[in-house]
Amino acid sequence: MCLAIPARVVEIQANDQAIVDLGGVRKDISLALVDSVAVGDYVIVHVGYALTRLDPEEAEKTLALMAEAGLADQALSA
């Protein structure tokens, strides 16, 4: 199963690349599909690409629901 999950941007890099934090795990992703992303923003990540920016409150709600359902660990290992 593939999931698109919220992640917080912790570093912007060259060539539309960024590092995001996924529950303490850091991943390299592409920002090529999303404009105007800044450090601290939440983005929806799917297969290594940010698809859209996400409101911080919605991101926190989604992450809390995933953790409650036991899906957070599965999403991080995908």
Helix segments in the chain, DSSP class H: 56-68, 72-77
Domain with residue 70: its CATH number is 2.30.30.140
Structural domains counted in the chain: 1
Length, in residues, of the chain: 78
Check residue 71 and give its pLDDT.
Answer: 64
CA distance 27 to 17: 10
Q: Which domain holds residue 52?
A: 5-77
Which residues in 8-43 are b (16+ Cβ under 10 Å) and which e? bbeeeeeeeebebebeeeeeebebeebeebeeebbb
Q: What is the pLDDT along the chain (78 residues), one digit of tens a residue?
A: 467 889 999 999 999 999 999 888 999 999 999 999 999 999 999 999 999 999 999 988 988 888 888 765 545 444
Q: Which two tokens stand for residue 48?
A: 């290594």
